[in-house]
Structures are given as structure tokens and as C-alpha cells.
Amino acid sequence: MIKNRLWLILFCVLGLKTSLHAQDMVNAETEPVPLHLIEAASSQREIIISALDSLKTLSYCDPLYTKEDSMVFNRMRKIQRTIPLALNEKIKSYIDKYISRNYNPYLSKLQGLAEYYFPIYEKILAENQLPDEIKYISVVESSLDPHLVSRSGAVGLWQFMYPTAKVYDLAIDSYVDERKDPYAASYAASRYFLDAYDEFNDWLLALASYNCGRGCVRRAIQRSGLENPNFWQLSPYLPKETQDYIPKFIAMTYTLKHADEYGISAMTNDFAWEAKPIMVEKTVNLQQIAHAVNLPLETIKKFNPAYKRSVINGSAESPKRLILPDTEYLSDSLLYAALNNQLDFSENMLASAEETSSKAATTHLSAKKPRLAAASEKSTKRSVAYTTYTVKKGDTLSHIAARFKGTTVSQIKADNSLRSTRLKIGQKLRIKKS
């Protein structure tokens, strides 16, 4: 076996040298290289990469008994990067759970949320020279729900306890809880993982300490009597929850990496647009921001989950992060006015008051003259006009309602006989004209 591996390594090195030489020929400023040589070089490179993947081994693996075990093992080796993965009965049981039909809606929701949160995580992890795979810890911790509060009081996407949050400089006051901020919390988590890896020099132990604490891992090492143990060696000395924590992380990493193969499609959500973070140095009203980007206030709040009120209390001494959905409806002039609290809502407020007054009068009239009210209602129905809207990727009923003046989610559901708020791309909706 060792001899075969040595030959395979030699083949890869020689092949890679040949492939790189061919690539140099392609890039050289000489006569054009024939297409068949370019294709041959590309094909050889793919063979080399595949061969190198086959040399990878997992940090721990139980015996493989079935064809499915072998397939998962080979896939696991290929996705393994910096953090050592493994495959054992516990990990396989979690994989089986995650890919089951019952878990499909949950995993689809995670996959949809990951499309928004993972690019944020990846950028921050890369800035701190941390393994990209750490992003899956947030999935295990919070199911990518910034408002999740655990039984022990941990909060946010990365589930920080209050004392740890303060150690890593996360602001928590009557206006904001940065444990819910995807950017601030990810920077804090990155600092934690750097500290933990510096202490344990083992990625899985660093991740395990995120669950039970670095002090807990230190005490487990002392009880074990082992010198420089890895996670699998130390696992029997760790709390039961932490023993399961790493298998969950590995199983979730594998499942979301191979979501397509298991029929897990990304579920649509309110995060249909790229996040555009900006720092503000004054108090900003989120209602005005919602008006500037032509979206419901609730959508703006979802992009800014850390704020407890509908205002951001920024200042020159303590700037705050505002996360904007970068939509095609964003108006630079309106945004500038909103950021400087210069939008005038008096006309909108007046219109709203008039509408409320009109509804109250109609209700009063119908109570006195039900027959007249019924006849009047029938005559409204006759003059209603509709337009047709085709659902696009990322659309939600609240977004669509915000685009059409006077339309509400309830109205759209009633006009289209919708039992839920779920939409399909290409679906046709009747929208009442105002």
C-alpha cells in the first residue's frame, strides 16, 4: 500500500510538472497552441487533482460496511481542507437524520439562509486567516437565527453568553445587542477561534471549546493524563453535549456541501439582496431607511437584527453599522435624505389619517344602513381592476405588496386564494390596482 502511494505521489509530481509546462506554453507570447494540447493539459490537471484527493485520509474513521459508507467516506475526504474531518457511527447517524425526508424543510431553510450569511462569514474568516469550514459552527449553534436565545442565555448567530460577549467587545445596551449582528458577532467569534487554536493547537479541540469553554477542555486534558491529545482521544473526558457537538458539525458540513445530491434546495426568504453595510455616525430612523429602499420596515429590521428599536443610535464617538439590502429600488437621493433624517412623512401621515377616517365613516354607515352598505360594496367590486405580476427569484408577499400602492399581503392572498405565503418563481399573481 505504501509503495503504491509513493508511486502515485511520483506520478502526480511528474504529471503536475508536465501540466504546468503545458500551461506555460499556452500563456507564452508565441504562436497559438493547438486546442487539443490545451484540452489535454486541462484533462491531465483534473486527473492529478483527483489523484491527490485520493491520498487524503480522515482523522478518524470507523470500518466501512456498505457502499453508502464508502461513498460518504470518499466525499468526506474530498471536502476536507484545514479542519480534519472524520466518519464514525455517530457522524453517520447525524448525516442520516439531516438527509431524511423529515429534515428536508429544515435543511432547505438553512440552505436558503446560508446564501445570505455564508458570504459574510467567509469574508471575515478569510480576513482573520481562519479555515472557511468554521462557518458551519454557526449553523449548529443557532440554525442561522440571529434572534435565537438558548436555555443558558446564549444569544445570536454565534450564541455568545453575556460575559464572553463583553470580553470580545460586543456592545449590549438598551439600543443594540451586537451578538445578533452578523458582522460584529463574526469578528468576535473569529477572535475566539484564534485564541482557542493558539492554546490547543488542534482545530477540533478549538471548536469543541466553543461549546463547553476553554477551561472545560483544559480540565479534560488534565483528567485524561494525555499529552497533546486530539479531539477523538479526549472525547470520553468531555461533557456529553460536547462529545456530540463535533459529530454534528462534521455531519452538517458534509450535508450542506452535498445539498444538491440529497435534494435539498434553497428556500426563499427575505434576504433576496446582497447586504451593503455602512457605518453611521448619527441617529438614523429605520422607517426612513425603509422608505428610501422601498421595502417594508420589517424587512429592514431583518437585515439589522441587532437593533432593539426602530432607530440606530450612531455617533462620531461610537459609529454603528447599518446593513442595507442593495435593491434596484434603492434611491441614492432618498437614502441620503434618510441617513440625514430629512425625509418628510407629513403627506404620508396625512393620507394614512384620511384613509383611517374614511374607513371609520364607512363602518359607521354600514352599521346604520346595512342594505345600503351591501349595495355600495357590490358596486365597488364591479369597478376593481387588476394587473398581473410574475414572481421572481427572492420575491416575498411583503416585498410585492410594498411595490404596489394600497396593496397588502392579506389582499394578495385573498385575491389569489393562497393558503400560505410561499411562492414559486414564475407564479402569476393578480394584484389589485389602486
CA separation for the pair 377, 361 (Å, rounded):
14
Phi then psi dihedrals of residue 96, to 5 deg = -60, -40
Q: What is the pLDDT of residues 92-126, one digit of tens each?
A: 999 999 999 999 999 999 999 999 999 999 999 99
* Residue 407 reports pLDDT greater than 90: no
Helices marked H in 128-239: 135-142, 162-167, 182-200, 203-212, 214-224, 231-234
pLDDT at 16: 46
Mean predicted confidence (pLDDT) in 362-374: 39
Q: How confident is the model at residue 31, as a pLDDT?
A: 56
Write the pLDDT tens digit of every residue in 294-313.
889 999 999 999 999 999 99
Please state which of the ranges 51-55, 167-171, 176-180, 428-432 shows the lowest mean pLDDT: 51-55
- Four-residue CA torsion sign, 223, 229, 234, 239: positive
Question: Is the predicted pLDDT of residue 1 greater than 80, yes or no?
Answer: no
Task: With CA atoms as reference, report the closest residue to 230 among 32, 86, 30, 328.
Answer: 86
Residue 20 has pLDDT above 90, yes or no: no
As a whole number, mean pLDDT of residues 408-424 equals 83
Q: How confident is the model at residue 414 (pLDDT cuts 50, 70, 90)?
A: confident
Burial class, 182, CB count within 10 angstroms (exposed 0-12 / middle 13-18 / buried 19+): buried
Evaluate if residue 266 carries a pLDDT over 50. yes
pLDDT at 355 over 60: no
Interval 74-92: pLDDT, tens: 999 999 999 999 999 999 9
